Amino acid sequence: MTELSNQDKELWEDEDLESENNDYEEYETTTFQYDPEKINIATREPTIEQLLRRIDEKALDLAPEFQRQANIWNQEAKSRLIESILIRIPLPAFYIDRTNEDEWVVVDGLQRLSALEQFVKNKLNLTGLEYLDLKNKTYDELEIRYQRRILETQVTVYLIEKGTPEEVKYNFLNELIQGVYAFQIRSYVML
In this predicted structure, the answer to whether residue 22 has a pLDDT above a threshold of 80 is no
Question: Is 128 within 8 Å of 70 (Cβ atoms)?
Answer: no
In this predicted structure, the answer to whether residue 191 has a pLDDT above a threshold of 60 is no
What's the CA gap between 155 and 178, in Å, rounded? 19
pLDDT in tens, 172-184: 556 655 665 555 5
Comparison of pLDDT for 33 and 4, the residue scoring more: 33
What's the CA gap between 147 and 49, in Å, rounded? 10
pTM exceeds cut of 0.85? no
3-state secondary structure 134-158: CCCCCHHHCCHHHHHHHHHCECCEE
Question: Is 102 within 8 Å of 54 (Cβ atoms)?
Answer: no
What's the CA gap between 187 and 183, in Å, rounded? 6
